[in-house]
Amino acid sequence: MNQLEQLKKFTTVVADTGDFQSIKAYTPRDATTNPSLILKAVQKDEYKPLLAKAVRDHPDGSTGDVIDHLLIAFGGEILNIVTGRVSTEIDARLAFDVDGSIAKGRELIHLYETAGYDRERILIKMPATWEGVQAARVLEKEMIHCNMTLLFSLGQAIACAEAGATLISPFVGRIYDWYKKSTGIAYVGAEDPGVQSVKRIYNYYRKFGYQTEVMGASFRNTGQIIELAGCDLLTISPELLQQLADSDVPFERKLSADAAPGANLTQMSQDEKTFRFQLNEDQMATEKLSEGIRAFYADSGKLKQIISGMR
């Protein structure tokens, strides 16, 4: 077996891309998208017709409306390929807007259902801010499932689980980037701070019986992926999927629910004051959350400029 085949024995593999051909090639169960991936995709000739159709079909809509329909178009194409779910991200401007996030989640689900897709196959992707967590609490009660993204700390993870979020996406690579820059150390294997963060969250969830799924994201190398074999899901870029497919070096499962009760962890609860204070005390998580929201907002702005230029 190559490493990708080995990984699929322990973990659900998710494609972190908006590229349909890559999704077909690596046969993941699920796929995730974000504003940066959609921006990258629509600049390729093979995906420009999807953008052109979204613009043409909604001549009187705002650029935001066109983007929503573009997201659904991409998501629908992906759902025609994968057997599982697709994650579709809300506008980054709603990161601190509970009511706005709830409304957008409902709107996107309505658009998917109007297009003929079951809401069980959709994950609404939102930043793991306090406001995002509260929006997820409401949406999950309406059977609108949420993927909490830009997650960098155990405190964020606990709040998401207590809100009943379906899935979280802790960002391994961005945590690694921060610590490498601040310490000058190129961490490898189990010493990688991003890997350690996801392991801690996974063990916490399984030890204390939370049902929220953990999907490691934002990988920089295959070593990080292999260290998290056994995690519920891992969302992986096409480049790293190919590297896994090209290697047949064996590896073992690293995470399991059976081992989690032995983890040295104490159960905590997160109210708003605790959440905000703990996040503030974690310089890495605070900086990376803010940076991520700004980056997704910037790429959404670039996409809006492209749409405006087509009218």
- Is residue 125 flagged as an active site residue? yes
| Separation of CA 6 from chain center | 23
Q: How far is CA 166 from CA 60, 92, 139, 172, 240, in A?
A: 35, 20, 10, 19, 25
| Separation of CA 125 from chain center | 7
The candidate with the shortest Cα–Cα distance to 86, out of 8, 141, 167, is: 167
CB count within 10 Å of CB 53 equals 13
Q: Write a three-state SS string for 169-197.
A: EEEHHHHHHHHHHHHCCCCCHHHCHHHHH
* Dihedrals phi, psi of 196, to nearest 5 degrees: -60, -40
Q: Give me the half-sphere count of Cα atoms (radius 13 Å) on the Cβ side of residue 231.
A: 29
**What is the sign of the dihedral through the CA atoms of 117, 76, 112 and 53?**
negative
What secondary structure does DSSP assign to 229-263, as a single string? TTSSEEEE-HHHHHHHHT----------TTTGGGS
Q: Please identify which of the residues 40, 44, 125, 181 carries the catalytic annotation.
A: 125
DSSP state of 127: E
Which residues are known catalytic residues?
125
